Structure 1
């Protein structure tokens, strides 16, 4: 059913779509952080700040690390992936709410890390997330693949487990607002041995 979905490398001109989709993937955490950055740096809105972040040529997690999915003639989803450094102890946090996510990332040092995988709501259920995930697994080669997702994202958790990911750890997510529901960030990893078994199976 996903045969009509096409994947392509992102360009700088995709920055606005990337900002929106990465925020969807992060359940609004990125726009919450961009709000503080926007006030400090003089942007009018969090999304303007996010768009400028995504336009940076050498920023980790920017447009050069992104793959765009298109369907029905429009951008439908995005995946952002890259290899994590072996030592993440010196990484500085722009906001305390990122601490639980960073603690989990440190457990995946040197892995291929899928930082974002987001699909627009009206484009879900037709295999776009699966295509983006499989593309990231292929890009990883023989490296372990890790990602962090929300504990209440049942559809995504089911997809990741179908593709050989298993839970390694979880941390309680920071409550961004008084009305925010409680959930945890979950680190999932697909080990190298599973990739070899699938290749030689």
Structure 2
């Protein structure tokens, strides 16, 4: 990709990220193009569909969360590592309003542009969960799909203005329910609310 095309693409992604953070994933592509000071055709040349735009925008974050999981997997106490990753994942997910609905649909749809990234994210969390289960600090009756669903549910809470004040406390409740024995109890350091 030419340097100017790469610069234009990065500009479009930055503008799209800001717009989605403010208005949610249903923000108009025309509005994103207008904010980026380009025509809709230019935006569509780079990203032919909304999903392609979201995949490009979110892939770096998905990859970052997978790398974070690998780092936590290699170091740290298994229960703490799991809760830390869960916290980071929930906080990241709440940055883009409405993305949890897309992620839940994409994980089940191999044809989705977001599918591979969602599968990678779910697998990263599953490895941390299995490690915590093997150490006897996480309940054994949940799997990576359950953990992925819990991320979506916790992020959704932070996305709802009337429920956002409860999101921190409920994160602690859910995290404590995942952990068992020595890893259970009160979980400190719940994530900050998404956008308040």
Provide TM-score, normalisation by structure 2. 0.29
Give 1 or 2: higher helix fraction.
Answer: 2
Q: Which has the higher strand share?
A: 1
* Bigger Rg over Cα: 2
**TM-score of the aligned structures, taking structure 1 as reference length:** 0.28
